[in-house]
Chain A
């Protein structure tokens, strides 16, 4: 892992227009002013509950959504113009959550994996294309006999391998993994997680690993970022954030994870939050977490807490971070 960031995200926002009535639209702030950087060869875990904007962050970075504001800097170059986006997509790819809907049922495995090669014209002869596809299939543990089959002939775990092989086709440096193991059975999850780690070692890949399973994220990530209602609330080393979470939301989120160990589960003091996650259409004023926060005061309702470094490499967005810890 080098110290130079491979990808930097500064003040990224993505708002969607939502129709709320005749001629009336409202801004849904799916992602609001999010900044982070990922070093080369690093895995940044991105966690949060549904609707917190973690998937939108992943998609906006790859320009699958056009960012509303903010900048994305890859390898020192800003990704904005059409040419830079096209070039960027030769280095950055995505693995999707659902291995069922993300593979075209009418295409054979070799066509699915070969499509990025076709799009970016990465071969000079048919034979070279074939060889590249077989090599990619080998990377993810598929046999050459699988090449002419269709996606429906495979189990969930194997489909996810096909999706990963497709994302590796352009020989990328950076992969956004959007919940890549959550649709898989426990016994298959470990196979796929190991594969992600092996590929990282072998090819020096950088991951943005989006997931809601905190045990998985903790296993695979070097650093972890926690999101809530479109904002980043905490970012730190993965060990640090588990041993010493500073934001009240991270504290309760981490304590709420059921641990597969009965003694710990019995003794564990869970911080159970009251109420539901507010709708992002009616986000609370000030700090987005204040409606469920046990420590909220007036200042939390009036101003948005700044996302600042409180210890080396440990960022938190909370007004009362010093008082409550």
Chain B
């Protein structure tokens, strides 16, 4: 059984302008000790997916359907009491901006000890020892001194280390990292990524890495989910996604990146602008920007095609190569002939 099973998760935000389907039927599984990357552009629903798992959505956001099972236990509808034992204990999250996610009015030490006191039966003295031990684990120098300092006294990289220490203090099974290095400089990012990698090996937790940076994904992840407009468009191992992408969106995303050899050549951008979640098209969400769009892409969203070992894609273009696609192929041809 997978550690985390997400099935047909749907989360919407109810705004004055209408319902925004931020996550629209997302399903995936996460095995123990694996690193899963979720990539996508802003508004693709990658963060909302994570917040829905943790049930820490903004008031306008509601989970309107689906299931999230942690170790076989259903979390959706389980109630706040159960979630309190999950958050920070079994599943932890670190955010993009370590300044705003730490409380500026409390010392590092008291914020670190809070989680430990809440979720374990350690007393204050033991909690303090544990907190110092965690700071050492994440390579914060002079941990005793840091315990008494406030967040503003630390640099961005140090704060992110403190966040990681806090997230890992109760030895969670899953660490969700929401753009953990986006606010950091390149050399500091390298430090934090290396730290996360070594802690992952040492503690054996699973990581969900949410990022828009395909470089970070290539470095960190075993498996990758590519999201667009609230939906998973492609899922597979990192190697499959990078070397054998099947969805037209993934393909064009890979093509649009500047690379070592691209100097002097023109980049191949994705045309158009990102989708407006209030006015979702009827068919595939990417169809309006897709160079290969067929008639059926505009009228009907694509089902999930199995395109390889543990590799799926929601793109009508895959129908031709997929194993079980006789029906789908007929549908495409039908759509084309109707012209």
- Report which A residues bind B (CB closer than 8 A): 49-50, 155, 157-158, 185-191, 193-194, 197, 212, 214-216, 218-221, 238-239, 242, 252-253, 256-266, 270, 272-273, 276-277
Contacts and interface: CB of A to CB of B under 8 A. Distances in A.
Contact of B218 (A187, A220, A238, A262): A262
A72 B190 CA distance: 36
18 contacts: A185-B212, A186-B253, A187-B252, A187-B256, A187-B289, A189-B256, A197-B266, A212-B186, A215-B257, A219-B259, A258-B189, A258-B215, A259-B215, A260-B215, A262-B218, A262-B238, A262-B243, A273-B191
Nearest to B289: A187
If over half of A's interface residues share one DSSP class (helix, strand or loop), that class is named, otherwise mixed; here it is helix
In this complex, the member of A157, A187, A264 whose beta carbon has the largest number of chain B beta carbons within 10 angstroms is A187
Contacts of A194: 266-267, 269
A52 B89 CA distance: 39
A272 B191 contact: yes
Contacts of A212: 185-186
Contact of A242 (B213, B238, B260): B260
B22 to A, nearest CB: 16
Contacts of A270: 190, 194
Contacts of B196: none
Interface string B209-222: 00011111111000
Given A155-B273, A185-B41, A252 B187 contact: yes
Interface in B219-265: 219, 238-239, 242-243, 252-254, 256-260, 262-263
B185 A277 contact: yes
A187 B187 contact: no
In this complex, the member of A50, A214, A265 whose beta carbon has the largest number of chain B beta carbons within 10 angstroms is A265
A258 B157 contact: no
Nearest to A266: B219
A280 B8 CA distance: 51
Contacts of A266: 219
A259 B189 CA distance: 13
Nearest to A271: B190
B193 A258 contact: yes
A187 B290 CA distance: 12
B263 A219 contact: yes
